[in-house]
Amino acid sequence: MRTLSRRGAIGLGAGTLAAAGLTGCADHSTPSEGPKQPSGSGKNRSGSPQPSPTVTARPLGDGSTSFTGKQPHQPAAPRPLEPGQEPPQFVVFSWDGAGEVGNGLFPRFLDLAKEHGAAMTFFLSGLYLLPESKKRLYDPPNNPRGASDIGYLTDDHIKDTLKGLRRAWLEGHEIGTHFNGHFCGEGRGSVGNWTSKQWRDEIDQAKSFVKEWRTNSGWTDLPALPFDYDKELVGGRTPCLLGQDNLLPTARALGWRYDASSPGGRQVWPTKKQGIWDLPLQQIPFPGRGFEVLSMDYNMLANQSINSTKAPSHNYPRWREQAAQAYIQGFKRAFETNRAPFFVGNHFEQWNGGIYMDAVEEAFKHMAREKEKGADVRLVSFRQFVDWLDVQTPQTLAKLRTLEVGQRPAGGWRTFLSAPSKGTGSAA
């Protein structure tokens, strides 16, 4: 398994380049562009006036978070598919770490989503709200107190991250978790070897760093985050896609609705695992190669520049286009056949000159154009997607799961979903 080291210079560990074996998350690259200031619209995506959620804000705990009522910019309540109705094409763009380190990537993709009326999921690393001067407050399972395989952010970058998170939630995005110290590998300290009880401890700490950033930082002049994180947090993605089996019992006990940690998923309709929706990164076509690649920026890099985030720049145009087309072809394969949801994972990074961020933006705009031309393409968060799943009948979901990767429904959607047989029921 190929994973990234987490502190100082970024290096890539040894491992196969076969797509199914690749996972990835990483520390952030060197800052270059200053972050933009967050903006609020006061209107919903259709332009209708929206009351400010801060008007009725009720501080929670030490005032780091607050209850502000129903989240703005949410879609209408989902409805079950009618017999013969074509399912929507769902696309979820998600971000691991979700910290702003001065490179402007958090506001860049918030701006992109806002322009196209989209929602995303931001998997926040709890340590990104903990000042390094207070790092000994973090007691990671099977690791020394204060240890982390990702760097702590500077105070200014924590403040920028708070701005980004506040804006993200107010604009309709989901705030999930990427946990804390990002311990990978095979040793005792790896998240892959944590028990369910240790996962609970890690989650409790991640939540505390969000709910108590004001106490931990001493900053009293910044606005509270506008959500109750105990209620907001309904899913996450583990570091390097490790440890899901022991995480799931804890996730279920906490009332989580999904987990996005499975490696090597396929473009088919999802199922539940231990009572939790299992929403993996997916294997998608990799143009010009004889294998598929996992739908994440790191995996594109690992199959292009191997062990370098600063490869020779003459490769960048070709690699950028290859990465963009991988996402686009993955989307098209689902959109034109089985309509399986499409999941994309990324980091706010500038590897190889930022080509993967450009590739994601190009692919995102391609998908948004299909929506704007009238297709039922929905750029949503994971939580919004499982809202839709949860109102579908077991028979409909079971029928959708019979479609393989790239398989069109026999006779078209009107025939395929016209009258699900009683024998196709399932417990979802």
Confidence of residue 42 (pLDDT cuts 50, 70, 90): very low
Task: Provide the 8-state DSSP code for 423.
Answer: G
Q: 331: closest CA among 52, 124, 89, 95?
A: 89
Query: In the prediction, which pLDDT does 55 show?
Result: 56
Confidence of residue 264 (pLDDT cuts 50, 70, 90): confident
State yes or no: pLDDT of 67 exceeds 90.
yes
State yes or no: pLDDT of 52 exceeds 60.
no
Q: 41: closest CA among 143, 114, 129?
A: 114
Across the chain, mean pLDDT equals: 89
State yes or no: pLDDT of 7 exceeds 60.
no
Query: In the prediction, which pLDDT does 302 show?
Result: 96
CB atoms within 10 A of CB 389: 19
Query: In the prediction, which pLDDT does 263 show?
Result: 82
> Where is 111: in which H helix or E strand?
helix 105-115
**Runs of H (alpha helix) within 171-270:** 196-211, 213-217, 229-232, 244-253
Q: Are strands 292-294 and 283-285 parallel, antiparallel or unpaired?
A: antiparallel
Structure tokens at 93: 């763009």
Q: What is the mean pLDDT of residues 337-356?
A: 98
Q: Strand locations in 87-202, DSSP E?
A: 89-97, 121-124, 174-177
State yes or no: pLDDT of 8 exceeds 50.
no
Least confident of 147-151, 154-158, 263-267, 308-312: 263-267
pLDDT tens for each residue of 195-247: 999 999 999 999 999 999 999 999 999 999 999 999 999 999 999 999 999 99
Single pTM value for the model: 0.88
Query: In the prediction, which pLDDT does 38 show?
Result: 35
* Angle 39-62-202 from CA coordinates, rounded to 5°: 90
